[in-house]
Amino acid sequence: MSDTDRSPEPSTLSAVLARLPQTQDDLADLYRDLHAHPELSFAEARTAGVITQRLRDLDLEVTAGIGGTGVAAVLANGPGPRVLLRADFDALPVQEQTGLPYASTAEGVMHACGHDMHVTCLLGALDLLVAGRAHWSGTVTAVFQPAEEIGGGAQAMIDDGLFDRIGTPDVVLGQHVAPLPTGMVGCHPGPAFAATDALKITLYGKGAHGSRPEAAIDPVVMAAATVMRLQTVVSREIAGGETAVLTVGALNAGTKDNIIPDTAELKLNIRTFTDPVRATVLAAVKRIVEGESQAAGATRAPDIEPTGTFPVLVNNEDAVARTLAAFRRHFGEEHVLDPGQATGSEDCGIFATTSGAPMCYWIFGGTDPDTYRKAQEAGTADRDIPSNHSPHFAPLIEPTITNGVEAMTTAALTWLALRQA
């Protein structure tokens, strides 16, 4: 075995995974139940209750109510590394359109990002690690995190003393279900998920009758010019080899055709991977918003208010190499890929940056391989395969759960100390 290949011996891994077929039906039931009962960020009371009960049934040391609805569990099993396994559990304000028999029962709320799958897989992995504790030594800590979608849950749990309660980890491991074929696992070393900056911008004009532009400073035209000019930030100020996304997701002004309103409001979402690019984009946004406002003759400077932020998620290169070596050995070389950088964001990285532990965060497939192959052959995979946050997002229950449980268990055993049972 090379230095990076610290994969658990196949015999040890298969001994721990042997119990999985007995738990599959129960895990599928759990997944359908969670999927049918989604809850929005920081309001995940029922979900946290289900998780807490399951963890107690496993005889783990459980703490609920961390950072709001967060739940953590500790399984101390002798000397050895302390491994943090993380699953998030909030849902989104999306009206489900899958037509599945276990579709959401909550109006306008859906597990459209697959966090119900993450909870199911982590509980499945914990069940195996508890039953197979004779095969390993160390401490497994499990973190069930609220409010990932609004970027507040990880920080809230840390601010509420998470590491005082469960100890400081030696490694942070997490996973996300993605629109890849089932059986595929992907991980990108280095900056893997983008930083997000969300901004609310208020432009101040001067309202008047729609027939009298001479009496007004029109914030609608100001907003339109600002939106167009903001499109030049990425195309004209960011180097070709760098990545940035700037989306104006909302533009609101006015009520009626013959009234020039007082104000206009823009909502921006910015994605970047490095501090210099982030600083360039944020400075350009400020310059353009203020400049367009001034060019329009506004009597008051615009307000630029940050409304949300995610740091970039950086995967530790050695941690990725070590974990992926184990995945290649278990799933097969052809089932492990580097998906490149994702412009999506994830607050899981905060557990690593705050504790100083290396991080390995991977994605695993939830799409029927035949469906995926046909769409890819037609060149329409990006458009036709429902992705996370789509009202049609519907991971295959199996073999997705099995793969997610196996990935989490394999990764954990790669970092724990192994012993002959």
The site for Zn ion (CB under 5 A) is made up of 113
Residue with smaller CB distance to Zn ion, 74 or 113: 113
User: CA Rg, the chain, in Å?
Assistant: 24
Q: State how beta strands 244-253 and 195-204 pair.
A: unpaired
Three-state secondary-structure class, residue 55: helix
Contacts of 183 (CB under 8 A, 6+ apart): 331, 335, 365, 369, 399, 403
Residue with smaller CB distance to Zn ion, 4 or 387: 387
Q: Distance (Å, rounded) from C-alpha 27 to C-alpha 173?
A: 21
> Which run of H or E residues covers position 418?
strand 417-418
Residue with smaller CB distance to Zn ion, 4 or 309: 309
Residue nearest to Zn ion (CB): 113
Residue with smaller CB distance to Zn ion, 116 or 406: 116
Which of 357, 417, 412 lies closest to 78 in space, CA to CA? 417
Q: State how beta strands 171-181 and 82-88 pair.
A: parallel
Residue with smaller CB distance to Zn ion, 136 or 193: 193
Shortest Å, Cβ 207 to Zn ion: 38
Shortest Å, Cβ 84 to Zn ion: 18
Residue with smaller CB distance to Zn ion, 170 or 197: 197
Cα 277 to Cα 320, 349, 381: the distances in Å are: 25, 19, 30
Cα dihedral sign for 168, 402, 185, 92? Answer: negative
Shortest Å, Cβ 106 to Zn ion: 17
Residue with smaller CB distance to Zn ion, 145 or 402: 145
Shortest Å, Cβ 177 to Zn ion: 8
User: Could you tell me if residue 356 is left (phi over 0), alpha (psi between -120 and 50 degrees) or otherwise beta?
Assistant: left
Q: State how beta strands 136-145 and 82-88 pair.
A: parallel
Shortest Å, Cβ 5 to Zn ion: 30
- DSSP state string for 162-220: HHHHH---SEEEEEEEEEEETT-EE--SEEEE-EEEEEEEEEE-B-EETT-GGG-B-HH
Shortest Å, Cβ 149 to Zn ion: 5
Residue 110 token pair:
């859906």
Residue with smaller CB distance to Zn ion, 113 or 158: 113
Shortest Å, Cβ 115 to Zn ion: 6
Shortest Å, Cβ 15 to Zn ion: 32
